[in-house]
């Protein structure tokens, strides 16, 4: 495999920084035009993209990659159309740059405004999903940021074909080519260089991929990272829950898609209603195709449940498996979540408003839900239009990261000659 040299990466960083300065001041219409032109180029280039993807798929099959990997890598006409439509949807979002988010006037007459500005240069490191090329490219461009995309070596042909369509969009709107760059190889050395920040050229790293990638990024990065390591998501069914609602929510939270970070991994049932709730809740999951690993009460309620081991609590299954147990009411549930959760997304099912409010206030997760499926943990579902990822950090980007979260701000102060007294 060829590698990308430090000199090449430094040149990419320098070009990105220069492009970022232009992009920060680009007219909203130019960015939207570029995205619409890119979407058209993706549609027009569907056959070329599919041919490139076929080469990636052939290599992946020859390398004996598992079916889940092949599925993430595979593009179809429908997936390409969805990608183009996604880019158009980002084009149609309100432009976040330049928006004034607060204004106030001081007693001395100074008028202060807080105004959104782009972050700068974003380093996006991803693995097998080639559509991230288009999604991340579109979100970064919309938010006025230059982006350096580093695709995995297995999806390089597909990513390069999509990248050419984004380049066509930039050219159509006369925006700098370096606004969206693709690292030419998928080697690990390029990742290491990006994590070093390319001598100040990268402002933030966003990894999209498996746990080992995110772990490496969080460990090695010398620049800020927007990421979550894992989504240990819980649903707590309170004694005041509507049982039918709880069954529906738990099954959706666990099984709608099992591989997403908002998928439930733990079911907590209030001891006060365990006798009546445990059997139907566990039965619903099992009958929907889920393996339940439960505490002794859960196994006693439904013999099809398997005994849980200590390793099952706080485990991210990302599969049709859930860990289930009885807890001592709201406080027991919150103690379990504090111990085993990952501060990502947690949910309470209850008809008691005071209990719900305590849960929403006291559980220290980026997203806390009352009577709604945890699978709503998603920028699109939040109304952000699209997301580049979900972050569990405590700074800046927390929860879904959409175009607004890809900006920072500055203060503009307008005066009439005021000087500061001693």
Q: Which is nearer to a second copy, 66 or 410 (CB)?
A: 410
State the Cα–Cα distance between residues 17 and 201, nearest whole angstrom: 6
CB of 375 to a second copy, least distance (A): 4
State the Cα–Cα distance between residues 371 and 249, nearest whole angstrom: 8
Determine, following the binding rule CB under 8 A, whether residue 1 of this chain makes contact with a second copy. Answer: no
Determine, following the binding rule CB under 8 A, whether residue 371 of this chain makes contact with a second copy. Answer: yes
Touching a second copy, residues 250-279 (CB under 8 A):
251-253, 256-257
Question: What Cα–Cα distance (Å) separates residue 393 from each residue in 85, 143, 195, 368?
Answer: 30, 20, 17, 15
Instruction: Record the tokens describing residue 164, joined without a space.
Output: 């050419």
Q: Which is nearer to a second copy, 102 or 300 (CB)?
A: 102
State the Cα–Cα distance between residues 114 and 410, nearest whole angstrom: 6
CB of 378 to a second copy, least distance (A): 8
Q: Which is nearer to a second copy, 256 or 304 (CB)?
A: 256
Contact call for residues 153 and 45 (beta carbons, < 8 A): no
Determine, following the binding rule CB under 8 A, whether residue 418 of this chain makes contact with a second copy. Answer: yes
Q: Which helix (H) or strand (E) holds 182?
A: strand 180-182
Q: Are strands 146-150 and 321-327 parallel, antiparallel or unpaired?
A: unpaired
Q: Which is nearer to a second copy, 294 or 379 (CB)?
A: 379
Mask 90-129, x = binds a second copy (CB under 8 A)? Answer: --------x-----x-x---x-x----x-xx---------
Determine, following the binding rule CB under 8 A, whether residue 369 of this chain makes contact with a second copy. Answer: yes
Question: What Cα–Cα distance (Å) separates residue 161 from each residue in 51, 84, 168, 196, 392?
Answer: 9, 13, 11, 28, 32
Determine, following the binding rule CB under 8 A, whether residue 339 of this chain makes contact with a second copy. Answer: no
Determine, following the binding rule CB under 8 A, whether residue 415 of this chain makes contact with a second copy. Answer: yes
The full DSSP string for 29-83 is HHHHHHHHHHHHHHHHTHHHHHHHHHHHHHHHHHTT--HHHHHHH---HHHHHHH
Determine, following the binding rule CB under 8 A, whether residue 411 of this chain makes contact with a second copy. Answer: yes
Q: Which is nearer to a second copy, 312 or 346 (CB)?
A: 346
| Chain positions contacting a second copy, by CB under 8 A | 21, 24-25, 98, 104, 106, 110, 112, 117, 119-120, 203-204, 224, 242, 245, 248-249, 251-253, 256-257, 338, 356, 360-362, 364-373, 375-376, 378, 381-383, 394-399, 408-420, 422
């Amino acid at each position: 495999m060829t590698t990308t040299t430090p000199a090449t990466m430094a040149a990419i960083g320098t070009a990105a920084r220069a492009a970022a300065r232009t992009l920060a001041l680009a007219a909203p219409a130019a960015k939207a035009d570029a995205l619409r032109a890119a979407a058209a180029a993706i549609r027009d280039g569907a056959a070329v993209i599919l041919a490139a993807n076929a080469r990636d798929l052939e290599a992946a099959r020859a390398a004996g990659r598992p079916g889940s990997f092949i599925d993430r890598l595979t593009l179809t006409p429908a997936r390409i159309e969805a990608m183009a439509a996604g880019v158009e949807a980002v084009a149609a979002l309100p432009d976040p740059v330049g928006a004034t988010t607060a204004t106030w006037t001081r007693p001395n007459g100074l008028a202060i405004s807080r105004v959104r500005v782009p972050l700068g240069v974003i380093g996006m490191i991803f693995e097998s999903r080639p559509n991230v090329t288009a999604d991340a490219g579109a979100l970064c461009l919309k938010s006025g940021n230059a982006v350096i995309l580093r695709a995995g070596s297995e999806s390089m042909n597909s990513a390069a074909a999509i990248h050419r369509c984004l380049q066509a969009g930039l050219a159509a709107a006369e925006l700098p080519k370096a606004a969206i760059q693709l690292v030419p190889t998928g080697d690990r050395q390029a990742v290491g260089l990006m994590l070093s920040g390319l001598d100040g050229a990268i402002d933030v790293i966003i990894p999209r991929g498996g746990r080992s990638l995110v772990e490496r990024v969080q460990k090695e990065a010398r620049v800020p990272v927007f990421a979550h390591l894992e989504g240990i998501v819980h649903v707590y069914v309170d004694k005041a829950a509507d049982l039918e609602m709880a069954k529906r929510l738990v099954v959706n939270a666990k099984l709608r898609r099992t591989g997403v970070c908002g998928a439930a991994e733990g079911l907590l049932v209030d001891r006060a209603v365990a006798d009546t709730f445990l059997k139907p809740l566990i039965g619903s999951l099992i009958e929907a195709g889920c393996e339940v690993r439960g505490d002794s009460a859960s196994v006693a309620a439904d013999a099809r449940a398997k005994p849980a081991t200590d390793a099952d609590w706080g485990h991210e299954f990302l599969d049709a498996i859930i860990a289930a147990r009885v807890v001592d009411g709201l406080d027991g549930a919150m103690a379990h979540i504090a111990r085993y959760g990952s501060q990502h997304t947690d949910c309470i099912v209850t008809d008691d408003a005071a209990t719900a409010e305590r849960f929403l206030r006291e559980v220290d997760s980026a997203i806390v839900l009352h009577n709604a499926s945890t699978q709503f943990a998603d920028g699109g579902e939040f109304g952000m239009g699209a997301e580049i990822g979900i972050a569990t950090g405590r700074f800046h980007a927390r929860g879904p990261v959409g175009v607004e979260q890809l900006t920072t701000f500055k203060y503009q102060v307008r005066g009439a000659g005021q000087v500061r007294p001693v």
